[in-house]
A and B are shown apart, each in its own frame.
Chain A
Amino acid sequence: MASVKLEKVNKTFGRDHIIKDVDLSIGDGEFVVFVGPSGCGKSTLLRLIAGLESITDGDLIIGETLVNDLPPRERGVGMVFQSYALYPHMTVYDNMAFGLKLAKTAKETVHERVMSTAKILQLEELLHRKPKALSGGQRQRVAMGRAMAREPRILLFDEPLSNLDASLRVQMRNEIARLHNRLGSTMIYVTHDQVEAMTLADKIVVLNRGNVEQVGNPHELYQRPATKFVAGFIGSPTMNFMPAELISGGADGCRVKAAGLSEVPLPQAAHDYPKGTSLTLGVRPEHLRLEAPTADNCFDIVNVEYLGNEVYVYLDPKEGDTLLIHRSEAPSQWKEGQQVSLVPNTEHVHLFDESGTALKLAQTRSAA
């Protein structure tokens, strides 16, 4: 078990700058999830930590040692691959023992470690089987077992669940979470699935085009996204965005007019922005209220989706093409073709400036 520290880490492939000045510190025993859309560099970042790619610039420190130039086997990391990459000609036992044998571990120790790992992962019955005789979930567990058997200080997961079907994915997600609780080892997990990220992580790192957008626990990321990208990426269905204009703003709050909505007072401090600045107003589907239409606040309902426990109401936006979504508990009184007014819950409204950065809450509120 160990902490990991990245300082101004960069990676370039030829002319492509994949990872840009990433600073990150991961505590001992933390479960950290790298999440982002495909091509954001999250897998590359994991491979840099694993040692499968070389770091172009910057420092990577595991525990107390600078490991930039150490090969993977000396870094004390174990990795679980997306395709499992089990050795097809070896039994489950040999798959798990391979790394230990290469490290010239004593025979009894190898046996002991493999058996104890197999016990944790409930693989004891399968030890003599070859990978092709295993189901997807079992292969997944063997892949984890192989990474764990060498008792690495850090366990790395590269989209480990994306090859499994939906129900198995939920089950394995639970097993990984319980495994982390039991072992308490440092784990770094890469996924593009925000549900996995939210459910597993102590700390989520949202990446976008090689930059770290925000680091925080799931609650922070959901409630207080630092950028518009994070706001749109985390949460399903996604946050509603509406273009808005700053009417007046001070250090203790502001007033904003969004397209189709009446003027709303908001708790964000906007004294750095001149009057009339165009902003983006973001509000999650569950933080909207639908009421009877008024003259200056009137939206058409274009579709209603009934999901059993909840109902999504889709509204025609006043500007842009993306439909606005309202989410509420089922049953719902709203029907397609009706007209409604939108009332956002001002405590849960987010404001973003043109660069996508979120406006901070006024000081008085956070003090109170």
Chain B
Amino acid sequence: MNTRQLAKVAKRIGFWALIALIMVYAVFPFYYAVVTSLKPSSDLFRVELWPSSWNLDNYAHIFSQTSFLRAIFNSIVVAFSVVFIALLFGLTASYALGRVRFRGRSTVLLVILGVSMFPQVAVLSGLFEVIRSLNLYNNPAGLILSYTIFTLPFTVWVLTTFMKQLPMELEEAAIMDGATPWVTLTKVFLPLMWPAMATTGLLAFIAAWNEFLFALTFTLTDAQRTVPVAIALLSGGSAYELPWGPIMAASVVVTVPLVVLVIIFQRRIVSGLTAGAVKG
């Protein structure tokens, strides 16, 4: 083996070592959560990479609590509603912003972008007043409203960029065929926008699914809570005990659907995210 081959092998090894490092860094917390969730509570604080004994007690425990099931249901309702509303408004807004020429179009786009720059805490108190005056306090509808405010800006931006790239002649062909703007949008543009819709929809879903601050502030009772809050408020046998086992089990349960969704849509996410980069 000469030095050249040696250098090549060394490079290879270095490359894979780096990848392994990144993998460990990214996956280890999740792995440890899974492992912890499978341990009996007596073993919880024994540090080990592979549990010496494991069972599903923690899962049985959380699924026996109706408040947790209720929270999952609330989360599903909230997240899907947010995705649906954000995509509907995002798509129609992007048609207007990407296709219709009107005065102040770029100003509108900049304002939309500006809104998404505010940290959640900054608008929390104002939004609280809005939600109370709309009588939506302690109601999932209030969460849907507040999440939509934060997901719409990037939905509109991504979809507008994508919409602008669709050839003008396509729309004109539809006009010549007698299509109204609504028909053009739903029958011609919508089928072509799936990659972008999948990307933005999934990002909106993740944002709504994982959101904690608004969910904690705008809900009061167990029956109205979403999953992140429900997990945080899981209580143990006494006020001085944190039930790590059930918390980890609950976290794994709510994370798995996201992982599955991302794996299903991963191709589309990549093509959707890079869609704006290169003309294709």
Binding site for B on A (CB under 8 A): 50, 52, 71-73, 77-79, 81-83, 85-89, 98-99, 102-103, 146-147, 150
Tell me the minimal C-beta distance from A98 to chain B in angstroms: 5
Known: A88-B192, A89-B191, A102-B183. A83 touches B175 (CB 8 A): no
Cα A317 to Cα B155 in complex, Å, equals 65
Tell me the minimal C-beta distance from B91 to chain A in angstroms: 16
Known: A83-B169, A102-B183. A50 touches B176 (CB 8 A): yes
- Contact (Cβ within 8 A) B173 A79: yes
Chain B 177-198, CB within 8 Å of chain A: the 1/0 string?
1110001000110011000000
Tell me the minimal C-beta distance from A120 to chain B in angstroms: 19
- Contact (Cβ within 8 A) B176 A77: yes
Query: Is B172 among interface residues, defined by CB-CB distance under 8 A?
Result: yes
What are 10 A-B pairs with beta-carbon distances under 8 A?
Answer: A50-B176, A73-B177, A78-B176, A79-B173, A81-B169, A98-B177, A99-B176, A99-B178, A102-B177, A150-B177
**What B residues does A78 contact at CB under 8 A?**
176
Query: Is B167 among interface residues, defined by CB-CB distance under 8 A?
Result: yes
Which residue of chain B has its CB nearest to the CB of A100?
A: B177
Query: Is B170 among interface residues, defined by CB-CB distance under 8 A?
Result: yes
Tell me the minimal C-beta distance from A161 to chain B in angstroms: 16
Tell me the minimal C-beta distance from B54 to chain A in angstroms: 49
Binding site for A on B (CB under 8 A): 167, 169-170, 172-179, 183, 187-188, 191-192
10 smallest beta-carbon distances between A and B, as pairs: A73-B178, A99-B177, A85-B169, A85-B173, A89-B191, A81-B169, A102-B178, A79-B176, A85-B170, A72-B176
Which residue of chain A has its CB nearest to the CB of B170?
A: A85
Tell me the minimal C-beta distance from A262 to chain B in angstroms: 56
- Contact (Cβ within 8 A) B170 A102: no
Known: A82-B169, A87-B174, A89-B192. 8 other contacts (CB 8 A): A52-B175, A73-B176, A87-B173, A98-B174, A98-B187, A146-B173, A147-B176, A150-B178
**What B residues does A150 contact at CB under 8 A?**
177-178
Tell me the minimal C-beta distance from A107 to chain B in angstroms: 17
Cα A89 to Cα B190 in complex, Å, equals 10
Indicate which residue in B167, B169, B172, B179 contacts A102 across the interface (CB closer than 8 Å): B179
**What A residues does B176 contact at CB under 8 A?**
50, 52, 72-73, 77-79, 99, 147
Cα A128 to Cα B264 in complex, Å, equals 28
**What B residues does A72 contact at CB under 8 A?**
175-176, 178
Which residue of chain A has its CB nearest to the CB of B191?
A: A89
Indicate which residue in A71, A73, A81 contacts B173 across the interface (CB closer than 8 Å): A81
- Contact (Cβ within 8 A) A103 B172: no
**What B residues does A85 contact at CB under 8 A?**
167, 169-170, 172-173
**What A residues does B178 contact at CB under 8 A?**
72-73, 99, 102-103, 150
**What B residues does A98 contact at CB under 8 A?**
174, 177, 179, 187
Which residue of chain A has its CB nearest to the CB of B194?
A: A89
Cα A110 to Cα B178 in complex, Å, equals 15
Cα A147 to Cα B172 in complex, Å, equals 12
Known: A87-B188, A88-B192. A81 touches B177 (CB 8 A): no
**What B residues does A89 contact at CB under 8 A?**
191-192
Which residue of chain B has its CB nearest to the CB of A143?
A: B173
Cα A73 to Cα B180 in complex, Å, equals 10
Tell me the minimal C-beta distance from B279 to chain A in angstroms: 13
**What A residues does B187 contact at CB under 8 A?**
98
Tell me the minimal C-beta distance from B122 to chain A in angstroms: 42
Cα A150 to Cα B167 in complex, Å, equals 23
Most A C-beta atoms less than 10 A away, residue of B177, B179, B183, B188: B177
Cα A147 to Cα B169 in complex, Å, equals 14
Cα A150 to Cα B177 in complex, Å, equals 8
Which residue of chain B has its CB nearest to the CB of A97?
A: B177
Cα A103 to Cα B174 in complex, Å, equals 12
Tell me the minimal C-beta distance from A139 to chain B in angstroms: 13
**What A residues does B179 contact at CB under 8 A?**
98, 102
